[in-house]
Amino acid sequence: MTKKVLFLFSDTGGGHRSAFQAIQDAMKIRFGGAVEFDAVDVLRECKWPLNKQPELYPRVVNTSKFLWALVYHSFDGKRRTRLARQFIYRNNRRILRRIVAEHPADVAVCTHSVIGNPTFRAFLTLDERPPFLTVVTDLVTTPSFWYDPRVDHCFVPTESAYRRGLRLGMSPSQMQITGLPVNPHFINSMTTKEAARAEFSLHPDLPAVLLVAGSEGMGAIHKTVAALDAEPLDAQLIVVCGRNQDLKAKLEQRAWINQHRVFGYVTNYHEMPRIMAASDIIVTKAGPSTISEAAIAGLPMIISDRIPGQETGNVRLVTENRAGIYLPKPERVAERIREWLAEGPESLSQRAENARKIARPDAVWEIADAVWDWANRPKFARSRAS
């Protein structure tokens, strides 16, 4: 009998969508036609101002990190989170109940922190509800919104995220440390450095430094490019601009000194793993998806930017495991890259090995198998307390 999986997410940043797509693709590979999928961007269905969050979020974190930090810390904490959840549910009760009624499923999987509890409360109004699972997509400093002691199961990426859940009332048996789900097509598309460089017409022997702005092209990456390309560098530069067309246009018009290649938005499932395979160092913001992918690719990381709050701990994860360093100033990034290149290939190889030690390439399979298991369990009857 075919089982139906409902994914609940929102496009505030690319990580929530990429997480559910990774699980979905793994389940397609593992279980084929035995499983069907549905997905709802819950915030877009909600009333103002929640329905504007997919557009507002990248603007806020790009233009005012102080404002975002203020918002983040204002709502983080057990009591404040409870009040925010109640406000969201009460103001969107009919919408959330309509969503769960119109999207029947054998299991619901939530990959967004803010919508988890309000949507779960809507499921509790059904005569029979499916198991409700949460996949935490922040690595270390996980917002308290992620943790609801009433959900059936919660997948967390790190030991730190697990301990945070315990402090917020989750039971040990309720959580499972898996790592962050990385799409199986990303892993399967990895190739040799030689093949990747040939595919993208890169120099076969020059070390390659990859600069990534994330799917939305966040951060002032053009300043880092300017610092790196200020003088001849014994390396080639690769820049991935994401959906930021203005950034791509500026870089294409630049009078470059060093060999380079500029990409716009690239697919996570084919181009990005091959671009990473072609590279020796990555310069990126502290996004959880990019860090997880770079670790699988064995790329030493220079974290040049972070979103305060949920990405603060990601920096610590990278630096404490010697998988990379945090340097927010473009000039310092350029200096350190020159130092790393001067140390030679053996040093880069050791840094690459450190990065691989924090990789969790099997996370997506572990989660996919667990979701399938929950989909095959009986539904829960509505309790009088609900």
pLDDT of residue 59: 82
What global pTM score does this model have? 0.94
**Residue 67 scores a pLDDT above 90:** no
Structural contact between residues 4 and 38, judged by C-beta atoms closer than 8 angstroms: yes
Q: What does the pLDDT look like over 183-237, one tens digit per residue? A: 999 999 999 999 999 999 999 999 999 999 765 545 578 899 999 999 999 999 9
Confidence of residue 384 (pLDDT cuts 50, 70, 90): low
Instruction: Render the burial of 155-191: b for 16+ CB within 10 Å, e for the rest.
Output: bbbbebbbebbeebebeeebbebbbbbbbbbbbebbb
> What is the average pLDDT across 361-380?
98
Residues 6+ apart with CB under 8 A from 327: 302, 303, 304, 333, 336
Name the CATH topology of 3-182+362-381: Rossmann fold (3.40.50)
**Residue 17 scores a pLDDT above 90:** yes
Owner of token pair 């040799």: 192
List the single range of 39-53, 119-133, 219-233, 318-332 with lowest mean pLDDT.
219-233
pLDDT of residue 218: 54
The Cα 183–Cα 9 span in angstroms is 16
List the single range of 54-68, 147-161, 350-364 with lowest mean pLDDT.
54-68
The Cα 196–Cα 156 span in angstroms is 32
**Residue 78 scores a pLDDT above 90:** yes
Q: What does the pLDDT look like over 92-110, one tens digit per residue? A: 999 999 999 999 999 999 9
Domain boundaries, the chain: 3-182+362-381, 185-356
Domains 3-182+362-381 and 185-356 equal at CATH topology level: yes
With a pLDDT cut of 70, the percent of the chain lying above it is: 97
The Cα 381–Cα 114 span in angstroms is 25
Give a three-class secondary structure readout of the chain: CCEEEEEEECCCCCHHHHHHHHHHHHHHHHHHHHEEEEEEEHHHHCCCCHHHHHHHHHHHHHHCHHHHHHHHHHHCCHHHHHHHHHHHHHHCHHHHHHHHHHCCCCEEEECCHHHHHHHHHHHCCCCEECCEEEECCCCCCCCHHHCCCCCCEEEECCHHHHHHHHHCCCCHHHEEECCCCCCHHHHHCCCCHHHHHHHCCCCCCCCEEEEECCCCCCCCHHHHHHHHCCCCCCCEEEEECCCCHHHHHHHHHCCCCCCEEEECCCCCCCHHHHHHHCCCEEEEECCHHHHHHHHHHCCCEEEEECCCCCCHHHHHHHHHCCCEEECCCHHHHHHHHHHHHHHCHHHHHHHHHHHHCCCCCCHHHHHHHHHHHHHCCCCEECCCCC
Give φ, ψ of 153 to 5 degrees.
-160, 150
Q: What does the pLDDT look like over 323-362, one tens digit per residue? A: 999 999 999 999 999 999 999 999 999 999 999 999 999 9
pLDDT of residue 222: 87
Q: How many Cα neighbours within 13 Å face the side chain of 264?
A: 8
The Cα 179–Cα 362 span in angstroms is 8
Structural contact between residues 348 and 242, judged by C-beta atoms closer than 8 angstroms: no
**Residue 385 scores a pLDDT above 60:** no
pLDDT of residue 383: 78
Q: Report the CATH architecture of 185-356.
A: 3-Layer(aba) Sandwich (3.40)
